[in-house]
Amino acid sequence: MNTLRIGLISVSDRASNGIYQDQGIPALESWLQSALASSWEVETRLVPDEQSLIEQAICELVDERFCHLVLTTGGTGPARRDVTPDATLAVADREMPGFGEQMRQISLNFVPTAILSRQVGVIRKQSLIINLPGQPKSIKETLEGVKDEAGNTRVHGIFASVPYCIQLLDGPYVETHSAVVAAFRPKSARRETNL
């Protein structure tokens, strides 16, 4: 069985300089543990807001560590030091604009400033790379989507589409715990599993 390899990159000048504890990677790891039913392994990187270093981290995780999925957190706003989307697009083979559109759509349910986000989703080689927000609460909302009081999904989180995208890129068959986020695929792409 092909194990899902995930790269996590937290982009922060202050956290990378030890001024405060990084929150992005622990939040992502915790969410992935609750959401993924399939086996997975992780590689993490903590980098400052420097475009060349972000590009280097993405390329290393994709080209040398062969991660199927790379999630970045932080550096997606309009400020001069927010260069994560620029670095991501610079090393991309193809853009997946639906991810950025959906992330902003989700965040608009919580804050009007969601339109200031420049988050993108791209493909490099056979890897999916997605820019997530920097705040742990926003990371969870973006991945899971918007639910009503009864727990029913009102706006799908972006992770609902991630397993099928990885499958289309010849990666492993990834399953999720539907109580957290239900992976969606067309019937023709579903497999019977023992989970």
User: Can you give the pLDDT at residue 52?
Assistant: 97
Position 14 in a domain: yes
Position 195 in a domain: no
User: Can you give the pLDDT at residue 21?
Assistant: 82
What whole-number distance in Å separates Cα of residue 67 and Cα of residue 145? 24
Using pLDDT thresholds of 50, 70 and 90, give the confidence band for residue 193. Answer: low
Q: How many CA atoms lie within 13 A of 48 on its CB side?
A: 9
pTM over 0.75? The answer is yes
CATH of the domain at 110: 3.40.980.10
Coil, strand or helix at 135: coil
Which range of residues forms the domain containing residue 162? 4-189
> What's the mean pLDDT when you consider all of the chain?
93
Q: Which residues contact 191 (CB under 8 A, 6 or more apart)?
A: 173
User: Can you give the pLDDT at residue 1?
Assistant: 55
Using pLDDT thresholds of 50, 70 and 90, give the confidence band for residue 194. Answer: low
Position 194 in a domain: no
**pLDDT over 60 at 140, yes or no:** yes
Position 179 in a domain: yes
What is the number of structural domains in the chain?
Answer: 1
What whole-number distance in Å separates Cα of residue 134 and Cα of residue 170? 29
Position 44 in a domain: yes
